[in-house]
A and B are shown apart, each in its own frame.
Chain A
Amino acid sequence: MGVVHVTDQNFEKEVLQSDIPVLVDFWAAWCGPCRAIAPIIEELAEEYAGKLKVCKMNVDENPITPGKFGIRAIPTLIFFKNGQPVDMITGAVAKSTIENVIQRLLSS
């Protein structure tokens, strides 16, 4: 189903009330490393379709949610399960590093 772009308005519904685990990529246009991992995030959305919901939130356009989670660095990836943040990665990392967390999330 591809990447879902979420906002402060629909974060609750799309992420916290999701039936399946969710990965949210907090990013902004001015952030080089965010751009570097963007293709990986899209690949993950395809590869884990149906098992993991992959979302992106632009922190420039949506200040409330990043503030709630104390985000002061991007890219930050937060993994949610049953409405709770359960894991987090800060900075641009290799796809395999993200997949390790996804595997753990899906098998727990």
Chain B
Amino acid sequence: MAETHDLVIIGGGPAGLTAYLYAARARLDCVLVEKTSPGGQVLVTDLVENYPGFPEPLSGFELMDRFVAQVKKLGLQTISGEVVRLEIEGERKKIVFDDGRVLQAQAVIIATGARPNRLGVPGEEEFLGKGVSYCATCDGPFFRDQEVAVVGGGNTAVQEAIFLTKFAKRVYLIHRRDQLRAQKILQERALANEKITILWNRVVEEIFGQDQVEGVRLKNVKTGETETLKVQGVFIFVGISPQSEFVRGVLPLDERGFIITDCEMRTEVPGVFAAGDVRAKACRQIVTAAGDGATAAFMAEHYLSQK
């Protein structure tokens, strides 16, 4: 018979770890499933300045180390693996892994988060790891005194553009609109930074090079003109997509694939909850993910006690 728990939490980012914290304090029999090791997307954030209670900025992994340490005090149990399917058999839920392993649970919290979108242009796949990057904190130091492009105009793009000025001698921020979407405080810093040049109303049509990235071809969406820009690195931050493939057809998703819940994190299936970036909602921040996780665990406890 498959290993069985009251509650299985899938995903070890801020939402999953907070759910575990609350579930463990409620003394639920609970395990956390994680693909690599706990942390989530926050691990790639250079500085977290907006998590309340930490007036001095700290790195994404310092913050996640603290999340993990707190949950470890309550005896964190993790299972390593990639979940490929969720099966609902009445009140019993089966979590199926890519290697065929199966976990059974009465309640499930899905906190699998999101992954960065691809631009979908020629050269992007080919030059991954050869100048194309989705992680400035990982790869920025390889571009010391070089010129790089950052694609996007949201919080992540602008924050990472600022971070990259520590290494690169010039950062071109390429944005398809004529204004940034990022929070005002980030916009102010980017506009004031002499190493950042913002190229408005442009989209990347191609990333080119021989063995490594040598440049990008840009198109001005207003005039239709194209131009080439010589850069050694291209950092892409054009939004995120939910990691929800494994529940497609099982749970209702919105048009972009985010899991639909009510405001108590309940999905359409009783006993299955979603929390954090994977959930359909407007604001995706560490603090809101943690809030979702707490609510989901609270509701899971409630669900289990009613059975």
Interface residues in chain A, defined as those with a beta carbon under 8 Å from any beta carbon in chain B:
28, 30-40, 43, 60, 70-76, 88, 90-97
Contacts and interface: CB of A to CB of B under 8 A. Distances in A.
Contacts, number: 90
B201 to A, nearest CB: 29
Nearest to A95: B80
B290 to A, nearest CB: 18
Interface of B: 35-39, 42-45, 59-61, 64, 80-82, 98-99, 128-131, 133-135, 137-139, 141-143, 211-212, 233
Nearest to B128: A90
In the A-B complex, list the 3 residue pairs whose CB atoms are closest, starting with the nearest.
Answer: A32-B43, A90-B129, A73-B129
A94 B137 contact: no
A33 B135 contact: yes
Contacts of A74: 138-139
Contacts of B37: 35-40
Contacts of B60: 32
23 contacts: A31-B135, A31-B138, A32-B39, A32-B60, A32-B64, A33-B138, A35-B37, A36-B43, A37-B37, A40-B36, A43-B80, A60-B141, A70-B211, A72-B129, A72-B133, A72-B143, A72-B212, A73-B128, A90-B129, A94-B35, A95-B80, A96-B98, A97-B82
A93 B130 CA distance: 18
